[in-house]
Amino acid sequence: MEVLCRSGYAAYLVGGAVRDLLLGRTPADLDVATNAHPEDVKSLFARTVDTGIRHGTVSVWSAGVWIEVTTFRAEGPYGDGRRPDFVRFVDDVHADLARRDFTINAMALDLHGRLVDPFDGRGDLARRLLRAVGDPAARFREDGLRLVRAVRFCVQLDLKCDPATEAALIETADAICPIALERIGRELERLSRAPWHAHLDGLASTLLWRRKGEPLAWLEEGFSWLAREGPFSLAPPPGWPSVALWFVGVDDGPRCARQFAESLAYGKDMARQIERAVRLVQAWVRGMDVPSPELLYEAGRASAEMAARMIAFLARGDVFEVARWKRAIRAQPLWDRSDLALPAEELLAMGFRGKEIGECQRRLVRHILRGEIENQADALRREAMARRERGDDHGPG
């Protein structure tokens, strides 16, 4: 901002960073708005990236962080329900703020700390109110993701919608239908780090999940189950364990959780991890006391640890329940076949071939998990040789 101002341009910190500063929080991202055009911004800084230059945005590397710098703009209609068909650069910060979604995000701070707040966003923060800028129905129809953002802000900042904005959420709920699941997934990932456990009734009753359809529709069942189980005395574990918690009360929850995570672009590895954690926690809900080594092995360490955090939340911090799971995880003798103290190369040297190696490893894993043998090289070697001499692990030739 100082570089821009020194060069004769106006520059303001805008958006969520201003909101967070007014709330006494550390901003996660920094966004700057200016009357400098993108080519002017690029000429002033040594390192820039054209992150959205068509719409006036250039990312600038400054003081060790990337900062998005966007030219003041007014916007045309949102033909695709995501981005404006065209933008028009303007010189007035007030016109730029008028295009934003909610009043709490339509504020700006200049270099000297002076607040520009044409829609009383600061007052709405003090009133704990979420209010759209201008016509709320128009704002939501421009970009249906704003519907999910409204839900997320209400949960994250403990806000209530003003009556007109709340009515528009219902009236325009269908605007979520064309929104890509990947975009919704990023908002729900942010929701998973917020105190969602204090808003379960509202999350269960929102129309958005059902209007979008599966896999989002499963959230209605998941949040409803949690609402019936609550209230909860502890904050939920943030991030992926929270996403997994949303599916514990869903019929066929493990499969639904995996499909949900894959559809929202959380990655196949994370989807499988969430699926296995949900399976473990559902078994606990049905009355499983302490997980067996076989169940933990099938789940894997990452999923088992995720499940333990989920159970600590559902058990309301019951120290005995938490301790049981911690002990089981700590005492687990084996998590993966690659952790066997007898490597495949040694089995090969002992004369095992092809499928015999895998079968021998599976047998050794079963013995270790059942407590019949320890995961020590000498013990495993003796067991493997004894089975080989008996012909237990020989294939057809």
Q: Which pLDDT value is given to residue 80?
A: 64
Q: Are 355 and 395 in contact (CB under 8 A)?
A: yes
Q: Which pLDDT value is given to residue 208?
A: 96
Q: Which pLDDT value is given to residue 322?
A: 92
Q: Is the dihedral of CA 211, 215, 221, 225 positive or negative?
A: negative
Q: Which pLDDT value is given to residue 79?
A: 66
Q: Which pLDDT value is given to residue 52?
A: 87
In Å, what is the CA distance from 44 to each residue of 29, 38, 58, 150?
21, 10, 12, 36
* Residue 383, phi then psi, degrees to nearest 5: -65, -45
Q: What is the mean pLDDT of each run of 10 residues along the chain (397 residues)?
A: 95 96 92 96 95 90 92 79 76 94 97 96 98 96 96 97 97 96 97 97 96 97 97 94 98 97 97 98 90 94 97 94 94 93 90 90 94 93 84 48
Regarding pTM above 0.85, the answer is yes
In Å, what is the CA distance from 16 to each residue of 75, 91, 240, 262, 345?
20, 21, 23, 29, 56
E strand spans, the chain: 11-14, 31-34, 48-52, 57-62, 65-71, 73-75, 87-89, 108-109, 115-116, 129-130, 160-161
Distance CA 12, CA 100 (A): 15
Q: Whose structure tokens read 């303007």?
A: 90
